[in-house]
Amino acid sequence: MSGSRWGAGFSAVGRFVGEIEAAATNKGSLRPGYVLAGDEIFLLDRCRDAVLKAFVPPDLKDFCLSDLDLSTTPIFDVLDRAQTPSLMAPFQVIFVRNVRQLYTRGAKKDEFAALDRYFKSPNPQALLIFVADFLRIPTDTRRMEMDDKNRFERLSETLGEHCGMVELARVNEEDAMRWATATALATDTKLEPDAARELVDALGADMMLIASELEKLLLYTSGRGRITLGDVETMVLAAKQRSLYELTDAISSRNTAKALALLHGLLNSSDAGEDAAIGHLYMLARTFRQMLVILEKNVRDSRAIWQALWQGFRMPPFAADDLIRQARRYKSRRELTRAIRLIARADLELRSSPPDKRLVLERLVYDLASEPKASSPWASSQLSFEV
C-alpha cells in the first residue's frame, strides 16, 4: 500500500503500518505516540488493525489494550495509565479519542505541561495513539478549509512535537479504484475497469461503503472469478439510483422523449419489472421533495446541501451537484409541488391495481416532463405524498 502510486491518505497509512511492523519485529524504532489526523474512517480502521496485529495478542487484549475518551477521562489519567507498567502484559496500547477536548476553550496549560513531562521520559512499554478525527483533510491538502488548517497546525505544534503525525487524507477516486481492483484480485477475482469505475462513482469514493459493497459483490460472484458492470448495477443500490437521477434530469429539462426512454430502460432492467413501479414512485417522490427543499433553501453548492437535507433524507454524494442543477430549473415552489401531487395521484392509481402499471408510469412521466397547463384537473389536486 506504500509507494508513490498511491495518494496521500494511502501513502500515510503505508508508512505508518511499515513503521509499526518494523518495530514489532525489532527492525525499527517505535515512537512513544502517534496522532491519526483525519476523519477518513476506512484509513483509521487500517491503522488500528495494524497496531492491534503487531502489539495486542488476542489472549492478552483485556490487559494490554485501552480505549479512552477525553470527554470522560482526563488526560492526566491517560498519562498515568501509560506510565504505570502492566502486571499482566509486557506492552500497553492506549487509543485516545475525543482529542478535540484538548483544544476547546481555555488555555489547557496544565494538560499540555503534563504531556510535555510524559514525553520527556515516556514508558518504552506503552504506545499512545491519539485519534484526531475532528479534522477533515481533503484529497488535495492544499484545499483544506481554513478552520481545519488552523486545527492541524495547532495539533502539529503541540502533540506533533512528541508524536508521529499520520495525515489521513480523503481517498481520491483513482486510489479507490486501485484498492478495489487489488482487493478483488487478492481473492482471485477480476474487477473489470468499467465495473470499478461505476462502483466508485456510485458511492462517491466513500471507502467504507466501497469496502462493504465490494464484499457483497465478491459473494454474489463467488466461483465466477469476475465482477462486471452489470453485477455492480444489479447489486449496488447507488448504481441503480444513477439511472433514476438521469430520469429526473430529463424530466426537469422537459425532454419528454428522453424521459420516456429512460423510464422504459428502468422498467426493463428491473428484476421485478412492472411490479417495481411502487419503488420507482417512492424514489421519484423522494427526489422531488429533495429538490423542493433545495429550491426553498436556495442551495447553490454541494457543501451546503448536507446542512439543508437532514440525515436519512440525503442523496448519494455523486448526485448532489446534479440534483442542485435540476432543482434550479424549476422557477417556483408551485412547479415542484405540482410534480409531487402528480406522483401522489399515480401512487393512488397503482395501489388500486390498474390493468397496466406501465401505462400509469408512462402517463406520469409524460405529465411531469410537460409544461403545466392551468386547466389540468390534476393541478388543483390537494393530494400529498408522504414517504
pLDDT tens-place string over residues 181-201? 999 999 999 999 999 988 888
pTM (predicted TM-score): 0.64
In degrees and rounded to multiples of 5, residue 27 shows phi and psi of: -105, 5
pLDDT at 54 over 50: yes
Rounded percentage of the chain residues whose pLDDT exceeds 70: 90
For residues 129 and 106, which has the higher predicted lDDT (pLDDT)? 129
pLDDT at 74 over 80: yes
For residues 142 and 59, which has the higher predicted lDDT (pLDDT)? 59
The residue type of 347 is D
Exposure string (b/e) for 111-138, b if CB count within 10 Å is 16 or more?
beebbeebbeebbeebbbbbbbbbbbbb
pLDDT tens digits, 274-286? 556 777 888 899 8
Confidence of residue 145 (pLDDT cuts 50, 70, 90): confident
**Pairwise CA distance, residues 338 & 373, whole Å:** 11
User: What was the pLDDT predicted at 353?
Assistant: 84
**Pairwise CA distance, residues 130 & 296, whole Å:** 42
Task: Read off the C-alpha cell for 316.
Answer: 448519494
Q: What is the mean pLDDT of the chain?
A: 86
Q: What angle do CA 290, 279, 194 make, to 5 degrees?
A: 80
Confidence of residue 180 (pLDDT cuts 50, 70, 90): very high
pLDDT at 228 over 80: yes
Domains and CATH numbers, the chain: 8-167 (3.40.50.300), 173-235 (1.10.8.60), 237-369 (1.20.272.10)
Report the 10 Å Cβ neighbour count for 333: 11
Phi/psi region, residue 254 (left: phi>0; alpha: psi -120 to 50; beta: rest), is left
